[in-house]
Amino acid sequence: MAKNYSSEISNPLSSNHEDYLKAIYILETRGEQVTNSVLSEYIGYTPASATNMVKKLAQMDLVIYRPHQAVALTPTGRRVALEILRHHRLLELFLHKTLDIPWDSVHEEAERLEHVISEALEDAIAASLGYPKVDPHGDPIPSKNGEVSHTPGHPLSQSEAGRTYRLVRVLSQEKERLAYLGELGLHLNAEVHLREQAPFDGPMLVEVAGEEHALAADMAALLQVVPASAE
Amino acid sequence: MAKNYSSEISNPLSSNHEDYLKAIYILETRGEQVTNSVLSEYIGYTPASATNMVKKLAQMDLVIYRPHQAVALTPTGRRVALEILRHHRLLELFLHKTLDIPWDSVHEEAERLEHVISEALEDAIAASLGYPKVDPHGDPIPSKNGEVSHTPGHPLSQSEAGRTYRLVRVLSQEKERLAYLGELGLHLNAEVHLREQAPFDGPMLVEVAGEEHALAADMAALLQVVPASAE
DNA sequence: AATAGTTTTTAGCCATGGCTAAATTGTATC
DNA sequence: GATACAATTTAGCCATGGCTAAAAACTATT
Ligand SMILES: [Mn+2]
Ligand SMILES: [Mn+2]
Ligand SMILES: [Mn+2]
Ligand SMILES: [Mn+2]
């Protein structure tokens, strides 16, 4: 069992290297073509810097780079990306459950911690949480050997009115958005009764914990739910 | 209450900047003259690199630098050093108590984590531990406003034979040494009965948890104890 | 197929913070 | 005070990874 993928690599990866690989992985799984501009915008650096970094990652056999083409992770690159993503999501859950850090703050904290925890600490965290499968936002936690479980659910925006659902995933890391949802009681596993959906992609009327709220359609599209009975 | 001392500073400090300040603080409190060679050896970089860094820290008003003189922390530099040291020791205790990381492994882990935790996380950790005063090695945890409590005790090597003591501090971070002491049952607050001390700085005979062991004099010098009755 | 517009790459700059080797300064000894 | 030795600083090199501006390469439209 190969544990430390940086051991397969001559010089160790910096935090930024790791964040680039993670970004490419996330963009790939979104189904997007990971063009230079998409990547550079996501990562928050200039296109020139992204090209620069991608070429370095290609030299280390972590990505496939062909000029003017979309970047793609190599198997090794994917393993590194998944390892960092595992750190990230384990840390989010740990910070939330063990230290009561609010779910809208764990992301930025994990963004730094993910690069500096050892294998032993990763294992200790996973064990203390009982080897969890999802983070506080319902994002799947990759397993130690790089498997990602498929998460169930469909957007609340495409659900039937008059039924009750359970929130299983929120497709956003935005602090303000998460804080707002939390205020409405829309945290993970919350029960939502969908009263009605206004036509023309209008707002939805939902009931959460006895209170009624209106949700914009694009907000509801980020909420993945399953029927409440199915548990 | 000024919280983030890097906010008083134009550009943020790197991990290395922080480790240099911490090193200078520790060497100062040991009573040593913090010459360039002492610092460079402690920090593990060449003397030229140490000079380089010290000059930068001086430009930021974190240390006083005069060529060919010992370096000294400014009040601001000391605050930064103490903030990082607080992170370090809180993290050591947290890792040990909450995640069962052995006391000989927490140091290297904290060495990286100390630079990336937020003020909020620092507070959450301190709260979850009940605002502790010492780390797993008995080193005092600086308070949020930079106060360091005086730790009691004297070296086991300078103690009276025939009496029982309580271990309150170990003056070493060496992994192997700590692992060895742990195997003997010599963790923090362990009770040690001092049977006899061989003359000419010879080994000491001690009894810990019902077992008898011989301890080299220089090892015993690192163990700070108080009389067991004084609890 | 020419042209216009967009995307990507290249070229070259800069700050950071290591390093080695050489020059300088300080200190101890005769 | 001269001289030797150690400590420190300086000078100059290098890799990293940002950046801007300009060049080049794709893509779409006429
Ligand atoms: Mn990150
Ligand atoms: Mn998440
Ligand atoms: Mn450190
Ligand atoms: Mn310690």
E strand map for A66-190: 72-73, 154-155, 164-170
| A97: nearest Cα among A140, A126, A120 | A126
**Mutation target among A94, A98, A99 for the B interface, most CBs of B within 10 A:** A99
Q: Model confidence over B170-215: pLDDT tens digits?
A: 999 999 999 999 999 999 999 999 998 888 888 999 999 999 999 9
The neighbourhood of ligand 2, an ion, using CB within 5 A, equals A 92, 135, 137, 139
Nucleotide nearest to B36 (CA to C1'): D8
Of B99, B115, B128, the CB nearest to A125: B99
**Mean pLDDT computed over B47-64:** 98
pLDDT value of position B3:
35
| Alpha-carbon separation of residue B126 from A112, A125, B144 (angstroms) | 20, 18, 10
pLDDT in tens, chain A (231 residues): 333 343 334 678 999 999 999 999 999 999 999 999 999 999 999 999 999 999 999 999 999 999 999 999 999 999 999 999 999 999 999 999 999 999 999 999 999 999 999 999 999 999 999 999 999 999 999 999 999 999 999 999 999 999 999 999 999 999 999 999 999 999 999 999 999 888 888 899 999 999 999 999 999 999 999 999 744
Calpha distance A86→A79 (Å, rounded): 10
B117 — alpha (psi -120 to 50), left (phi > 0) or beta? beta
Q: Model confidence over B83-128: pLDDT tens digits?
A: 999 999 999 999 999 999 999 999 999 999 999 999 999 999 999 9
Calpha distance B77→B58 (Å, rounded): 9
pLDDT value of position A10:
60
- To the nearest whole angstrom, how far is the Cα of B84 from the nearest Cα of chain A? 16
Q: Which nucleotides of chain D are near protein (any atom < 7 Å from a CB)?
A: 7-12, 16-22, 25-26
By CA distance, what is B113's nearest residue in A?
A116
B10: confidence class by pLDDT, cuts 50, 70, 90:
low
Whole-number Å distance, alpha carbon A57 to ligand 2 midpoint, is 25
H or E element that contains A215: strand A211-215
CB proximity list for B97: less than 8 A, separation 6 or greater: B129, B136
- To the nearest whole angstrom, how far is the Cα of B79 from the nearest Cα of chain A? 23
Whole-number Å distance, alpha carbon B138 to ligand 4 midpoint, is 7
Contact across the interface for A101 and B112, Cβ inside 8 Å = no
Contact across the interface for A124 and B118, Cβ inside 8 Å = no
Overall pTM surpassing 0.75 (yes/no): yes
pLDDT value of position A91:
98
What is the number of the ligand closest to the CA of B174? 4
Share of chain B above pLDDT 70, in %: 95
Q: Model confidence over B14-27: pLDDT tens digits?
A: 999 999 999 999 99
Mean pLDDT, all residues of chain B: 93
Scan for tokens 């544990």, then name that residue: A3
H or E element that contains A195: strand A191-197
In the numeric block, which tokens belong to residue A198? 């206004």
Q: Which nucleotides of chain C are near protein (any atom < 7 Å from a CB)?
A: 7-12, 16-22, 25-27
pLDDT value of position A116:
97
Residues of A in contact with B113 (CB under 8 A): 113, 116-117
pLDDT value of position A12:
86
Of A100, A109, A116, the CB nearest to B118: A109
